[in-house]
């Protein structure tokens, strides 16, 4: 099972990154069997550039749960799954830091679909999510939003798995 995850963050480099939105799509290799999605109140300001890019405003986050209120759901939904993200070197550390802030050492095996696409689908000039979606004819209904990007990543992962004739994906999973 893959927990395909995308987060949006505050983007203010003056302070540690904080999550403003998270989406998790549990994917069994064939279909999404569970979805979790919510805005998250980071209890700090959002960089104006990031707000323009994502459409997430500080006003939208008023009254939304803080990460600490969501952590048990996130632990449960990702348990026994491979943490999968397009550019996992961004999303995984962000989530680990959020857990560390509340005293939990969060560890999951992980897979980066950028690295997997490079191995299994060679020949593209760029492997960003937007470019892969365009080249693979995947529609991202909400780019730069957690659920849209997570669902698009699921579709990229499907294509990767369908074309993984030499079991590259298994070799790319980083163990805990």
Radius of gyration of the chain (CA): 16
Convert the pLDDT of each residue in 96-115 to its tens digit: 999 999 999 999 999 999 99
- This prediction's pTM: 0.94
DSSP-derived secondary structure for 19-38: EEEEEEEEE-SSSEEEEEEE
**SS3 of residue 47 by DSSP:** coil
Are the beta carbons of 104 and 76 closer than 8 angstroms?
A: no
Taking residue 15's Cβ as centre, other Cβ atoms within 10 Å add up to 11
Convert the pLDDT of each residue in 27-64 to its tens digit: 999 999 999 999 999 998 999 999 999 999 999 999 99
pLDDT score for 102: 95
Alpha carbons 11 and 16: distance in angstroms, whole number: 9
Domain layout of the chain by residue ranges: 2-172
Structure tokens at 44: 């700090």
Protein fold of 2-172: Nucleotidyltransferase; domain 5 (3.30.420)
The residue ranges of DSSP E strands in 75-115, in sequence order, are 82-85, 110-112
């Amino acid at each position: 099972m893959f927990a395909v995850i995308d987060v949006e963050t505050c983007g203010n480099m003056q302070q540690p990154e904080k999550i403003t939105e998270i989406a998790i799509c549990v994917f069994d290799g064939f279909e999404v069997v569970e979805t979790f999605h919510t805005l998250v109140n980071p209890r700090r300001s959002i960089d104006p550039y990031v707000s323009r890019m994502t459409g997430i405003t500080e006003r939208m986050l008023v009254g939304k749960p803080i990460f600490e209120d969501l952590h048990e759901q996130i632990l449960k939904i990702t348990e026994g799954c491979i943490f999968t993200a397009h550019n996992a070197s961004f999303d995984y550390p962000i989530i680990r830091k959020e857990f560390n802030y509340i005293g939990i050492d969060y560890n999951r095996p992980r897979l980066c679909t950028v690295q997997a696409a490079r191995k299994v689908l060679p020949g593209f000039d760029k492997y960003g999510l937007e470019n892969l979606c365009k080249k693979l004819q995947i529609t991202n209904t909400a780019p730069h939003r957690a659920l849209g990007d997570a669902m698009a990543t699921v579709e990229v992962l499907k294509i990767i798995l369908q074309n993984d004739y030499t079991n590259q994906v298994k070799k790319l999973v980083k163990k805990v």
